[in-house]
Amino acid sequence: MKNLFLSILLLLSFATFSQSRTDAATTGPEKGSLVIVGGGTRTPEIMGRFIELAGGADASIVVIPTAIGADEYDEEGIKERWKGFGANNIIVRHTKDKEVADSKDFTSAINSASAVWFDGGRQWRLVDSYKDTETERSFWGVLERGGVIGGSSAGATIQGSYLARGDTKNNQIMMGDHEEGFGFIKNIAIDQHVLARNRQFDLFDILKKRPELLGIGIDESTAIIVKGDQFEVLGESYVLIYDQSFWSREGSDLKNLPPANSQFYFLREGDRYNMRRREMIVDDE
């Protein structure tokens, strides 16, 4: 009887451990794509890929400028900038009122769009306007139809499950009064402007308290293109990976590395990464 009781305890412990590992898996959307840009200049290469994933020049793209913090926006000016990228069918949506964000009039354009783009600013403003509303559910609908969601700077961080720099007082506070993003990628914290602003050590503030999260830091004029649980790096600079391991093209056997929970490494254009497995995708030579 005692042995049976111990066996049951072991099985329950294993089930709990397995469930915790499953819950901690970093996974992308089952359908659609994400374009996550680290801020700075939106290069023709990155914007061209976003428009291509949306369906081309005439695809319906909804631009959300809310993170900037203005009450109103120059819609014609926004449309002209997007024409410069090669997109002809731009609709601008903005509100600070969750009742409006719950209305059919506001969400109708998103429900028929093939793409959504979040401009930069402060990511908590996107939470205050759209989290847990019909608008947020409409964002998910874009992905479910096989569309694309993109964003730069604040529009990058909001796409993760943990909202880095989400404090309303200061963007230097990594774990603030807003901690939940839209979660298009689960179990992840995404930072931006990383090398341009010497932020490469900041994600450790989050990961030391939330070690189950995958940390990704994206530099300016650089993006990750996410499909399913994998992404590819696109752009001029680097993406930093914080997965408690280390990778290098020249190997790491002879390197004097810090402890695993203090490590990060760099990816460049063309590199691919599996978020669920938390490892580089290396093609056989």
CATH of the domain at 88: 3.40.50.880
Residue 95 exposed, middle or buried by CB count within 10 Å (0-12, 13-18, 19+)? middle
Phi first, then psi, for residue 97 (nearest 5°) are -110, 120
Helix (H) or strand (E) holding 185, with range, is: strand 185-192
Decide: 176 and 167 in contact? Cβ < 8 Å.
Answer: yes
SS3 content of the chain, % helix, strand, coil (to 5): 30, 20, 45
- 143 in any annotated domain: yes
Domain containing residue 156: 28-281
- 8 in any annotated domain: no
The pTM of the full predicted model, rounded to 2 decimals, is: 0.91
Predicted confidence at residue 88, as pLDDT, reads 97
pLDDT digits 0-9 by tens, 5-34 = 444 444 444 444 334 444 589 999 999 999
- 17 in any annotated domain: no
Decide: 97 and 71 in contact? Cβ < 8 Å.
Answer: no
CA-based nearest residue to 185, from 230, 217, 141, 223: 230
Strand order across the beta sheet in which 160-162 lies = 160-162, 185-192, 214-218, 239-242, 265-267
Two structure tokens written together for 73 = 């926006």
Phi first, then psi, for residue 46 (nearest 5°) are -70, -45
- 6 in any annotated domain: no
pLDDT digits 0-9 by tens, 168-217 = 999 999 999 999 999 999 999 999 999 999 999 999 999 999 999 999 99
Taking the C-alpha atoms of residue 132 and residue 228, their distance in angstroms, rounded to an integer, is 23
Q: Which residues of 221-240 are buried (b: 16+ CB within 10 A; e: fewer)?
A: bbbbbbeebbbbbbbbbbbb
User: For 51-67, what is the mean pLDDT?
Assistant: 98
Task: Give me the number of domains the chain comprises.
Answer: 1
- 11 in any annotated domain: no
- 15 in any annotated domain: no
- 14 in any annotated domain: no
User: Which of these ranges, 106-110, 194-198, 231-235, 251-255, has the smallest mean pLDDT?
Assistant: 251-255
Two structure tokens written together for 273 = 């990464």
- 234 in any annotated domain: yes
Say whether pLDDT at 128 is over 70: yes
